[in-house]
Amino acid sequence: MGRMTTGLWVLLFLALPGAGNTATLVQGNGRPGVDLELVLAVDVSRSMDPQEQLLQQAGYIAAFRNPEVIDAIQGGPLGRIAVTYFEWAGTGLIRELVPWTVVDGPESAEAVASMLATAEPGRLSRTSISGALTEALRQFDRSPFSSPRRVIDVSGDGPNNQGEPVEWARDRVLERGIVINGLPVMLRPSYSGFFDISELDIYYEDCVIGGFGAFIVPVQNPEKFATAIRRKLVLEIAGRTPDRAPHIVPVQSGGAFAKMDCLIGEKLWNQWFNNME
């Protein structure tokens, strides 16, 4: 019998009963395929008070235990996603709580929830959304999985005030075809109050999120925190956008439609620092 090529062996394998679904899990680059690679970047800067941090963490724990989220995952072509979760604050202040993990059903979703439930939220200084986005890019570079959809989900309760301008980091992400969605936390004034901006949702729209179908889900009521996180995850996993969501095009830096000064966080910080001198 003549020597079979690798391609012929693959075709014969695909023809075996039940083999098709397994084969589709491996992409051409040799990495396991998933429907979505999702980076959850969660703000733990000191502007978030302890109650807000606990509500935020509890919201993600509840979401991964929620049947609606699991149904959304299993409803995809492959029925599985890959997720990683890290906390962020100032430049270089990153703490990974969940390494890249496949979620394909209740057991694996519970594993993610359990990892989060055993970790106490950090409390770190400053706010570098640009640093969080840069770290998210590193996470994708290290991902052992492959997917046609990659999303960064970034939460926070204030504007960027450290590191490079957030627009620069955002645009690098968008150049890679990665979508950025936002969860602006607008529950109450921060501990300091000085760095708060009243229109954080608009700041996230103009300066943080981007990519085709990008959206924000503002949190304005503590009782709705868990609901907002669950809703956001379901939309991201299913590849949908909420009604009337802002569709931000990749190039928006200094655009004619920008309503918010994307350097407002840095300006507030410098103003506060100068007043301390």
Domain locations in the chain as residue ranges: 31-276
Cβ 98 vs Cβ 133: under 8 Å:
no
Q: Give the C-alpha separation, 60 to 42, whole Å.
A: 10
What's the pLDDT tens digit per position in 117-138?
A: 999 877 777 899 999 999 999 9
Identify which of 101, 37, 72, 15 has the alpha carbon closest to the alpha carbon of residue 23: 15
Region of poorest pLDDT, from 106-115, 180-189, 192-201, 226-235:
192-201
Q: Give the C-alpha separation, 97 to 146, whole Å.
A: 21
Residue 246: what pLDDT? 45
Residue 262 clears pLDDT 80, i.e. is over it: yes
Residue 168 clears pLDDT 60, i.e. is over it: yes
pLDDT band at 52 (very low <50, low <70, confident <90, very high): confident
Q: Give the C-alpha separation, 103 to 220, whole Å.
A: 29
Cβ 113 vs Cβ 145: under 8 Å:
no
Residue 35 clears pLDDT 50, i.e. is over it: yes
Neighbour count for residue 110 (Cβ, 10 Å): 16
**Which CATH code, of 3.90.1150.10, 3.40.50.10190, 3.40.50.410, 3.40.640.10, is assigned to 31-276?**
3.40.50.410
Region of poorest pLDDT, from 61-70, 105-114, 214-223, 254-263:
254-263
- List Cβ<8 Å contacts ≥24 apart for 250-253: 250/171, 250/174, 250/175, 250/210, 250/211, 251/171, 252/167, 252/206, 252/210, 253/167, 253/171
Q: Give the C-alpha separation, 157 to 142, whole Å.
A: 28
